[in-house]
Chains A and B, each alone.
Chain A
């Protein structure tokens, strides 16, 4: 099964790239685009025979050990 993990900076942390993207979009006339924040998406394959509990446990463990720094980031599995 294909897994998608969305990782983003916590809302209280300044995300300057989003601000610059927002400025550029506004300059192009997309004036209604506000509060832009950029994150990252990690896609991976896990074996189909894992049950939900095993799958969640593996993803959580990988996020805690490497994929996510929980001081600054949060994640959700899409």
Chain B
């Protein structure tokens, strides 16, 4: 059975094309591109909510996109235990929908961060199975609101249920701080309780091809298809 996937495009998405190429090259299966005004998703194994500035980041990042017509079917897709990955703006959309806990607020230093950064896996899930313990991945970030926030009770439950997928860390070279944006406990990505939904600020779809500085982003899709 070939792996099928889909990428949702919102007005203002700008990583949808990268995500499509990422999936086409790595899964070798069918990849659909779905406009946000569609009301039904094809039956697929993985849906990606891509990065960008959906609806111009009006009101709050991801707030408008979380009310798009396609979202009902995205929720159904996730409730059927199929995979859902939100990258950057996609992560913000997932928290605004309420499929993931917490919120992403403005970076602590007020700067838009567009640079390579380093992450490692915290707790095991199906999205990071191919990544070794303590393996440091180089994956770029490009965000203004990537500072993960949640209250203490939520943080405790994220830890108890092993929902923290990735955390920022120091790399071999870099002018990068260990916690680049001020996120609580340097959280870079979390899952839902069932671990079929992942939201992450770094962009794995910008780190997979030979022309990218790093190919570490491949490991996420490889984790899902092997």
Give chain A's interface residues, CB within 8 Å of chain B.
9, 13-14, 16-17, 20, 66-67, 69, 71-72
Contact = CB atoms under 8 A, between A and B. Distances in A.
Chain A contact residues: over half helix, strand or loop, or mixed? mixed
A16 B110 contact: yes
Given A13-B149, A66-B63, A69-B63, 6 more contacts: A14-B105, A16-B109, A17-B110, A69-B103, A71-B102, A71-B150
29 contacts: A9-B105, A13-B105, A13-B149, A14-B105, A14-B108, A14-B182, A16-B106, A16-B107, A16-B108, A16-B109, A16-B110, A17-B106, A17-B110, A20-B110, A66-B59, A66-B63, A66-B67, A67-B59, A69-B60, A69-B63, A69-B96, A69-B103, A71-B102, A71-B103, A71-B149, A71-B150, A71-B151, A72-B105, A72-B149
B46 to A, nearest CB: 27
Interface residues of B, number: 18
Contacts of A20: 110
A73 to B, nearest CB: 8
